[in-house]
Structure 1
Amino acid sequence: MNSDDMSLENRILDLHGKRILVTGASSGIGEDIARLLHELGAEPILVGRNPERLGALASELGGCQSLALDITDEAQVSQALGELPALDGLVNCAGISILDAALDIKADDFKRILQTNVVASAMIAREVGRNMVANQRRGAIVNVSSQAASAALQDHLGYCASKGAMDAMTRVLCLELGQHGIRVNSVNPTVTLTPMAEMAWSDPQKSEPMLARIPLQRFATPRDIALPVAFLLSEAAAMISGACLPIDGGYTAA
């Protein structure tokens, strides 16, 4: 394929030959990220909870490797990721949200959110970072955080706390992995219209107050998130590390 046949995205965000682990790849934003990375020439390694959906996506993407894992099981993660070939990057996209008012929050719910969104993401970053350092691979890690890291959201105490922790984790990983040529950034989306979110936000009484706080007056699409993630993984972002990039239509600036 010559340059005239390639889309602008493919020319700028060239990821050919890059092996990139994507968590949360069996649904939502993670699934769209995996598809885009494949379009851009990367070899995504898919991690998720649903083996059937992972297998279907892996087949769609030409038979790439998939790993059905409980990412909160440290031993399982260490064993599975310790057996992988040399990696060039990671997208930490797996996450959960449990909605509770601050006066009703349950300790078990809070712990579950933190275990998935923070602890598991840190353990996966540890394993991928070890792999990259051992194989002398310069590359990038992108953590999928949220506007909830920097803005208070009703009934999202545990989720906001977890995403604030993820941004702090991003900065520490940037500091410690930079000496190995590994860049670490996060992206911080607003409401993103995955199929599940489209149902959740279909009620105008719920969606209109949120849309009123977004200067661009729309929610994000999964592609809106996947493209900046690909940029941060690419050499186009070679001098960007430690950034927490809002993808929120101006929500946190307003």
Structure 2
Amino acid sequence: MEICFKNKRALVTGAGKGIGRGIAVALAKCGASVTALTRSQADLDTLKQEVPGIETICLDVHDWDKTNEVLSPLPPFDLLVNSAGVSSGESCLEVSAEAYDNVMMINHRAILQITKIVAKGMIAKGEGGSIVNLSSIASLQGLTNHAVYASSKGALDSYTKVAALELAKHKIRVNCVNPTVVLTPMARKFWAQGEMRDAMINRIPLGRFLEIEDVVNPVIFLLSDMSAMINGITMPIDGGASAALV
């Protein structure tokens, strides 16, 4: 069955690069009217060239007041993908206030705020909606030297369940996807070789990292009516890594 989002409005954060960009492009191909949000105007310009009909918003979601000012007046959305996120490589003994504040601000607080704004619009429209949050396998398995990042994704998983319970009465579904390493252009350089790469690959029964489309396709499914009774889940996309107690 072909997925069609004709007459649906979608907001995708973190849409300038990588997974978020892939999701924005896929939604447009499925007929949605897509609004792409990121903090880099240059990324939005190239996205606009790739998908001429896409709407773009250049916004740093660190700024709570500006985010309210920009997003609250917009017409209601039917679909939301919270893809914006940042990583941090501190161990438990190296955590800094700056790293904590930055990662939690983007990976958790901004998602709570944007979801609040968009969900209120969905409720006012009265036709329900679907929200997908981009989490990580780091919330489900220990990942060394990612103390703050893993914590932020664990918090996001918990928030997803709370939002799913509270918004269900409005026919709004909220789900989470939890990928392992995704080979974005930046990640390809970092994970190209070395002991860390080998150790990570060895934890994945299917024996490879993810391509961007390996995440995009499940997200599109969760946004669609094909997943109409899926709500409040955290979906590992990890080639079976989370099935093993290792």
For Structure 1 versus Structure 2, the TM-score category normalised by the shorter chain is over 0.9
Q: For 1:211 and 1:185, locate their aligned partners in 2 and report how far apart those are by CA, in whole Å.
A: 26
Structural mapping, 1:179-190, within 5 Å: 179-190=169-180
TM superposition shift of 1:52: 1.7
1:211-232 Cα deviation digits (max 9, x unpaired): 0000110000110000000000
Quote the Cα distance in structure 2 between the aligned partners of 1:221 and 1:15: 23
User: Which among 208, 211, 231 is matched to residue 201 of structure 2?
Assistant: 211
Greater mean deviation of Cα atoms: 92-101 or 203-212: 203-212
1:63 paired residue number? 53
Query: Are residue 238 (structure 1) and residue 237 (structure 2) matched?
Result: no
The 3-state SS of whatever aligns with 2:236 is strand
Deviation, 1:58, is 2.3
Cα deviation, residue 38, structure 1:
1.0
SS at match of 1:12: coil
1:141 to 115, 131, 138: 131
The aligned length equals 244
Whether 2:11 is the aligned partner of 1:21: answer yes
**1:250 equivalent in structure 2:** 240
SS of 2:242's partner is coil
Q: Which runs of 4+ in 1 moved over 6 A?
A: none
Task: Select 2:65's aligned residue among 58, 75, 87.
Answer: 75
- Partner residue, 2:88: 98
1:229 aligned residue (195, 219, 227): 219
Q: CA deviation at 1:136?
A: 1.3
Listed as ranges, the gaps of 5+ residues in structure 2 are none
Amino acid at match of 1:56: T
Alpha-carbon distance in structure 1 between the residues aligned to 2:137 and 2:177: 9
1:37 has 2:16 as partner = no
Paired position in structure 1 for 2:104:
114
Instruction: State the alpha-carbon separation in 2 of the partners of residues 98 and 146 from structure 1.
Output: 13
Mean Cα deviation higher: 77-86 or 149-158: 77-86
Q: 1:128 aligns with which of 100, 118, 143?
A: 118
Q: Distance in 2 between matches of 1:60 and 1:102?
A: 41
The answer to whether 1:48 aligns with 2:47 is: no
Q: Deviation digits for residues 59-111 of structure 1, max 9, x if unmatched?
A: 32123211011112111111111121121010000000111121111122112
Q: Give ranges in structure 1 of 5+ residues lacking alignment.
A: 1-10
The normalised TM-score by structure 1 is: 0.94
Q: Distance in 2 between matches of 1:55 and 1:17?
A: 24
RMSD value over aligned CA atoms? 1.0
Are the equivalent residues in 2 in contact too, given 1:87–1:137 (CA < 8 A)? no
For 1:191, the aligned partner's letter is: V
Sequence identity percentage: 42
Deviates further, 188-197 or 94-103: 94-103
